[in-house]
Amino acid sequence: MAYIRTLANGHFRADIRMKGIVKNKTFPTKKLAHAWADRTEYDIKPSRI
């Protein structure tokens, strides 16, 4: 699950912690942060056949 938080400068930081993997990235809009988080979480999850 991603955690999106607002920074002091108005940007947004997306933090992901899944299966021992920690990733984070900063974005100018909340929409971009959510899109990156969703895509990254999908890539971390195992393929379902």
Distance CA 14, CA 21 (A): 14
Tens digit of pLDDT for each residue in 1-49? 899 999 999 999 999 998 888 999 999 999 999 999 999 999 888 765 5
Going from N- to C-terminal start, the domains of the chain cover 2-44
The pLDDT, as a whole number, for residue 48 is 58
The SS3 of residue 26 is strand
Q: Which DSSP symbol is given to 47?
A: P
- For residue 49, what pLDDT is reported? 56
The answer to whether the beta carbons of residues 13 and 7 sit under 8 Å apart is: yes
Q: What are phi and psi of 12, to 5 degrees?
A: -125, 140
Q: How far apart are CA 37 and CA 14, in angstroms?
A: 6
